[in-house]
Structure 1
Amino acid sequence: MANYNIIKKTKGDIVFDVVNTIFMLALVFITLYPMYYVLCASFSNNVKLLANPGALWYPQGFNLGAYKLAFKHPLLLSGYKNILIVLGVSLPINIILTLFCGYFLAAKRVLFKKPILAIIMFTMFFNGGMIPTYLNVRSLGLFNSLWALILPGAMSVYNAIICKTAIEGIPDSLTESAYIDGANDILIIFRIILPLIMPTIAVLLLYYGIGHWNSWFSASLYIQDNTKLPIQNVLRAVLIANSNILNSAATEDDQINQFAETIKYSAIVISTVPVLFLYPFLQKYFVKGALIGAVKG
């Protein structure tokens, strides 16, 4: 019979495991409880919720009124529509530009590569500032348009560097053989490079998607029409700005006051759930893609 060396834990190891387990459970509780609180509050009765200022372990008087009001409210629905339009248009532009830039950065023999690379890297650390950007958006005719949320941040240099490192991991023999067979750069990018770095592309999609979904500042600068605001700006109006935007489009029976508190939590759930559902599908690519595209020293 094979002899197995059984390592016996010392008292110090046992104490460390116990303390470490307690610490991790406490950390998980601190992380998840705010989300659980928001979920319970969103299903609670407005009056009973206000009467219970402490910890919340279950909905106080189960009520779906806040969700019914939220889903039929025009600004919350238009906010969802606008952010979906922004994501649907932005993500292909983001990925294509990032892929092209990463391919250029990874190329070994390119004319004027060093000065062009210096200019690209300069934009990573310095920009014109908020006022010049605002004036630029107005002069280009993008003001009060969803294009103002799409074009100014169409590519991240940081993400391009991640893409560049992933492309550098592909053997040169593949691209060289493609050149010999008559393929051009566009064909190489989409038929060879793209399929081989799909884990990195999935991570970049997650980075760009979360960035667009959580962004609210650009819309507050460039969008004047409330019906063009993305979901995060509507959520901000509900949570911070005393629901001024929401009240401006309230229904005739003015049900907002009946759910003044719970509608805030339901709006948070509505704006968060899509990201929570999307992440598990991309999680399997996340670690692999991040490691493949990690910046080399």
Structure 2
Amino acid sequence: MAMRKQVADKAGVSEATVSRVFSGSEAVKPKTRDRVLQAASELGYVPSELARQFAKRRSGNIGVVLPYLPKVQLFSTYYFSEILGGISEAAREHGADLLLLQRSPDERREYELLFRQRKVGGLIVLGARDGEEEREALLELERNGHPYALVNQRMDGLERRTVEADHLEGSRLATAHLLEQGWSRPAFIGGPPDYSNSRDRLLGYRDAMSAVGADRIEPLVGNYSRKSGLEMAAAAARLIRGGEADALAAANDRMAIGLLQGLRQLGLEAGRDYGLAGYDDSDGARLTQPALTSVSASFDEMGRLAAQLALGELKRPPGKLPPRLVERESSRRRGV
């Protein structure tokens, strides 16, 4: 294999100029760049990925910060597995490696240190909550010009770093669909309010109810887990049997599946006694009995876009990804 010095000699430039060309520096004139690339092509010169990383003076890793959730198989969770799949694919295409970092709720957010120690060249934060410490750690990255991305968590002043779907519209679609199916009193099952996507989904529910003049019901709030759906089943059953609600719009599929199972144990069946819609269009939505109506939010594409932001390939995301309703049996009245 040809060496960098041979390329430099053939192109009539210094070895440093060859390095600048292959590190993507903008300090090289276009004609010089073309001459170097032509010489490299003729000699069969391909710089190693390690050499490119040293030339760029940055790590070839994308750091992915994951929340530590005790007793939860994080990597088997549809939401995280889909996002990580998109991140991994984009990283592979750009020759970058992933460094997965789990953090507990009480752990210090020392994101800047990861860049100073050259452990990462870009950062993606999953499961970020809008709190003072989190915000300050992200603002420090912003002040120092480090590339990073948030997924499904929008913070004031940092919107250009957030990759997300239009969750307000997705929730509006799910609630409007339940109303169109003849369920007149849907209730909303929400997630923690310190996530912007939770707040957006609640607003989407309210918009759909207001559009038809229906009374809004005070939401039940869980933590996006199947267990929380099971725990809320008794309260949901009281709403249904008391005539306050006849359908449920859940903010994610895991809670919807927990509700479906818990309400069945209490003698209530989706499609017969109440309508049910979830959110995420996870694999589990296809496997329940009845199959779960849900909203598809393109988590794989979110991961790809987040990786491109963290790699510096994008200056800002292209906009909120459009959601899509996937209708199945859980939301349909029997015989309709």
TM-score range, shorter chain: under 0.3
Structure with more contact order per residue of length (Cα contacts < 8 Å, sep ≥ 6): 1
More helix by share: 1
Give the TM-score, by structure 2 length.
Answer: 0.25
Give the TM-score, by structure 1 length.
Answer: 0.28
More strand by share: 2
